[in-house]
Chains A and B, each alone.
Chain A
Amino acid sequence: MGDHHHGPAKGLSRWLFTTNHKDIGTMYLWFSFSMFMLGGTFAMIIRAELFQPGLQLVEPAFFNQMTTLHGLIMVFGAIMPSFVGLANWLIPMMIGAPDMALPRMNNWSFWILPPTFLLLASTLFMEGGAPAAGWTFYAPLSTTYAAPSVTFFIFSVHVLGLSSIMGSINIIATVMNMRAPGMTYMKMPLFVWTWLITAFLLVAVMPVLAGAVTMMLMDVHFGTSFFSAAGGGDPVLFQHVFWFFGHPEVYIIILPAFGVVSQIIPAFSRKPLFGYDSMVYATASIAFLSFIVWAHHMYTVGMPVAGELFFMYATMLIAVPTGVKVFNWVTTMWRGSLSFETPMLFCIGFLVLFTIGGFTGLMLAIAPSDFQYHDTYFVVAHFHYVMVAGAVFSMSAAIYFWLPKWCGRMYNETMGKTHFWISFIGFNLAFFPQHFVGLAGMPRRIPDYALQFTDFNMMSSIGAFIYGLSQVLFLYNVIATIVAGKPVSDPKVWDGAEGLEWTIPTPAPYHTFETPPKIDPAHAHS
């Protein structure tokens, strides 16, 4: 046994060759945070240009590269890998497994990411510039009319798809095979459930995205006409294929966030999660519905009215399971014993802002109204409410919640709360006015705008700068905690936290659950 209790290797090789789920989780988290900063920098450039009407800082062609890379890097480089990092750290600890089921593949899934994003970012310095057709890269703007760098972009998408698929297979294999005896499916923490379902979504749709970019590659280099009507193809085909991937993709981003919130709200309510079973079923329903609503992103492409009606009804249905989730969270808080440490603040922020994003989502589902909302800042506001206030807020909550367990040191609560309030104010100042300008008629993805939209854009830019700065505070707080935070050693860092990860020592040892834990049936799922 003695040999198995070794610690991590020393130096760079520890990180390069590691198969340890905690090390890999850490690398994913740091990588995604650095991508978050890069994508955030692009956002700051966008908001600086939009601070006032007229072109001040950048030219329109570069502006389009910024919006495109901002979206791509935030979705694929920041949010998705951050939740994979969280999954790596937490899933084995939550189900009582010693590590992920496929540790070598785990290493590989991570290590192909940094070169891929380096390649993607390097397109900025290529002739003709980076891809500039938006993160949705509609053909033929992204094919026939694209800069040569599109080929590098296509390759990047292939590789990061590979990474996602490998990561997902690993999660599925781990959850299905490595649960401690007695940890039945309906006893798993909700975070594990949401990730299991997310992993299935990823395995199902990443190949579809790979198909879309492969067809692009063929059109660009091999003379095919998948997306060109002149050669017998169809530009709208691209949108169908893209959104068949793209709509499940947005749930891939938000479902693990639901999982995080479902762990943290009960902990600080000191009360079990309300309606565990219905939470699982709601998550599965959302995942199923995500496959049959894709064309609600395309109400204006000229679909037959029967198609529009189908996609409208199906999309409206999503409000039901999503509503169930929100009601369950609120009811979990009801008659609890609430306290408001930083993770809880971020979860409440999530709950309020995600619900607002859900309401605008329902409005956008209504096809006739969408003719007025589509491709305006109203949509930009909507998806930042669900992506930033949804995914990123829950990610911040997760870091504050589990960081003490990971490193055995407590973060500075005052600084954490300050981070929350600055984020919350900055975020709303940045994105709430975007509802207004969108409804008033400002299209998205424009580098310059009519004078009537000036004041709200100025507010929006100021809010964005505040939100951006608050993330620097976050970074500082995290580093300060790891380096010099107040040591904690209680296995249960939070008095209300439930689950296997709170039964192991703090900080979590390099290897945990080498012998499976006993599951106390009374303490099933947190």
Chain B
Amino acid sequence: MCFEAKRLLKLALGPVLMLVSAVVLAYGPEVNQVNMAPGVTAVGERIYDLHMWILGVCTVIGVGVFGVMFYSIINHRKSKGAVASHFHESTKVEIAWTVIPFLILLVMAVPSTSTLLEVYNNDDAEMDILVTGFQWKWKYEYIDESGENVSFFSNLRTPQSEIHNADPKGEYYLLEVDEPMVIPVNTKVRFLITGNDVIHSWWVPDLAVKRDAIPGFINEAWTKVDTVGVYRGQCAELCGKDHGFMPIVVNVVSKEDYSQWLSGKQAEAAAIKELMAQTFTLDQQVERGKAVYERSCLACHGANGEGGVGKAIAGSAIVTGDINKHLDVGINGVPGTAMQAFGGQLNDVDMAAVITYQRNAFGNNMGDMVQPIDVYNHKKG
């Protein structure tokens, strides 16, 4: 397997590859990594130092305690003729091993407190991103003061065929998304984190940020990354069936690249707005809808509309029935089933296209179609 070969190579050429990986700037867990990563933020480094320091103190105490214990085990054994003493009390000793650990804890508490205060210092953020956890994907919304927010969903990109072992797994298996979060380097970014349905937790180890995404509440966290690169994390709070399949990828780029990316996204949003007012032909709708289907529907409904987790699209009573009912299922989902509400996830152009596509593909020859304005009106009620 490709990955196996890479791993062997990595073992052999470890130091060389470390240099190479520093050049391509792809971060994430190392193969067989055994310790916390120091990460790429000042806070992350402080947490790492704290972690190593506490681990060190514990190790020293452990060596002492186990040392005494094993000394006894070796030297005070009955088979060696050891005779038991009868001491069983010493107030002095008891006081000593109550007070000394307490003092050690006091010393530990000082850096812990200052690091925690730093983690909680959300002031002076230069930009805000609203992070919303969905079952089972993330939505990122860049808050813009002029109201022109950019928002998009970030879905797992690893195909089902890799998960079900039909295809070899890629290097970033389960840690790759279709559209990563993009943030500028050396900029204090504040995350406003919330959940749409159940509790999720947004975690990127290299950024040392982990905060629960709780429906109805907004949590704050922040980061200031000092190295350009791609950083990978996962949802950390059990959130249902596909909890293990909603990774997080943060692409940290130079400030110039970031503004370029942002204007690109804004232009994209403007173009969608433009398209909303247009009327499309059936062919145009089907072409666009096919792409949307493959991105958003295929995982559950199958490549040929044959169904899977979700019901079959081919010959479905809903898809070949009343067009408004079909649209309603697309927008609002079916409560209590795996069919989610896509109204907030797809823009009106894509929604119109994919509904039209479903009605005119897989042998469903309805011949009718939905326009973006119909979706808009349906949402308005």
Contact = CB atoms under 8 A, between A and B. Distances in A.
Q: Which of B72, B119, B135 has the most CB of A within 10 A?
A: B72
A334 B68 contact: yes
B116 A312 contact: yes
Contact of A275 (B88, B197, B209, B242): B88
Interface stretch (A111-119, A323-331, A417-425, A474-482): A323-331
A269 B84 contact: yes
Contacts of B220: 302
B324 interface: no
B97 A327 contact: yes
Contacts of A327: 65, 97
A272 interface: yes
B366 to A, nearest CB: 33
B79 to A, nearest CB: 7
Interface stretch (A168-176, A180-188, A349-357): A349-357
A56 B165 CA distance: 8
A335 B88 CA distance: 11
Interface in A439-487: 439-453, 455-456
A368 interface: yes
B100 to A, nearest CB: 9
A316 B72 contact: no
A359 B241 contact: no
A312 B112 contact: yes
Contact of A271 (B88, B94, B115, B233): B88
B319 to A, nearest CB: 25
A320 B219 contact: no
A238 B197 CA distance: 15
A366 B73 CA distance: 33
Contacts of A319: 101, 105
B334 interface: no
Given A375-B201, A441-B37, A355 B62 contact: yes
A324 B96 CA distance: 10
Nearest to A56: B165
A439 B35 contact: yes
A340 B93 CA distance: 27
A54 B94 contact: no
Given A330-B65, A368-B46, A336 B72 contact: yes
Contact of B34 (A60, A439, A443): A439
A367 interface: yes
Nearest to B49: A369
Interface stretch (A137-145, A215-223, A245-253): A137-145
Given A236-B214, A326-B65, A274 B88 contact: yes
A447 B285 CA distance: 38
Secondary structure dominating the interface of A? helix
A79 B55 CA distance: 29
A510 interface: no
A336 B88 contact: no
A324 B116 CA distance: 28
Secondary structure dominating the interface of B? mixed
A337 B76 contact: yes
B377 interface: no
B233 to A, nearest CB: 7
A448 B241 CA distance: 12
Interface string B57-80: 011011001101100110011110
Contacts of A273: 88
Contact of A371 (B30, B85, B88, B208): B208
Given A441-B37, A447-B244, A305 B120 contact: yes
B58 to A, nearest CB: 4
Interface residues of B, number: 98
B267 interface: no
B83 interface: yes
Interface in A44-79: 53-56, 60-61, 64
B244 A339 contact: no
A366 B112 contact: yes
B355 interface: no
Contact of B109 (A60, A228, A316, A440): A316
Interface in A204-241: 228-230, 234-236
A interface bracket (residues with beta carbon within 8 Å of B)? 35 or more
A317 interface: yes
Contacts of B77: 337-340
Nearest to B97: A327
A61 B86 contact: no
Given A330-B65, A453-B29, A368 B116 contact: yes
Contacts of A508: none
B272 interface: no
B273 to A, nearest CB: 30
B108 interface: yes
B29 A368 contact: no
Contacts of B82: 335-338
B14 interface: no
A362 to B, nearest CB: 6
Contacts of A399: none
B8 to A, nearest CB: 12
A177 interface: no
Nearest to B106: A316
Contacts of A271: 84-86, 88
Contact of B73 (A229, A338, A368, A439): A338
A405 interface: no
Contact of B236 (A340, A356, A443): A443
Given A145-B197, A337-B82, A317 B105 contact: yes
B13 interface: no
A38 B73 CA distance: 36
Contact of B69 (A64, A302, A317, A351): A351
Nearest to B79: A339
Nearest to A238: B199
Contacts of A26: none
Given A54-B164, A371-B210, A366 B97 contact: no
B75 to A, nearest CB: 9
Interface string A281-315: 00000000000000000001110010011001100
Contacts of A305: 116-117, 120
A152 interface: no
Contacts of A337: 76-78, 82-84
Contacts of B72: 330, 333-336, 338
Interface in B280-332: none
B243 A445 contact: yes
A281 to B, nearest CB: 9
Contacts of A15: none
A366 to B, nearest CB: 5
A376 interface: yes
Contacts of A436: 32-35
B245 interface: yes
Contact of B163 (A55, A269, A363, A453): A55
Given A56-B165, A338-B77, A450-B174, A439 B36 contact: yes
A446 B31 CA distance: 18
Given A235-B214, A452-B30, A376 B240 contact: no
B142 to A, nearest CB: 21
Contacts of B35: 436, 439-440
A301 B214 contact: yes
A335 B84 contact: yes
B169 A141 contact: no
Given A54-B165, A320-B98, A452-B33, A61 B119 contact: no
A255 to B, nearest CB: 19
Closest 8 CB pairs of A and B: A229-B216, A446-B244, A440-B33, A302-B219, A359-B58, A368-B115, A272-B88, A337-B84
Given A371-B209, A372-B205, A455-B31, 4 more contacts: A229-B215, A436-B33, A441-B33, A451-B31
12 contacts: A60-B241, A138-B238, A270-B84, A271-B85, A320-B101, A334-B76, A338-B76, A372-B205, A439-B33, A440-B33, A448-B245, A450-B28
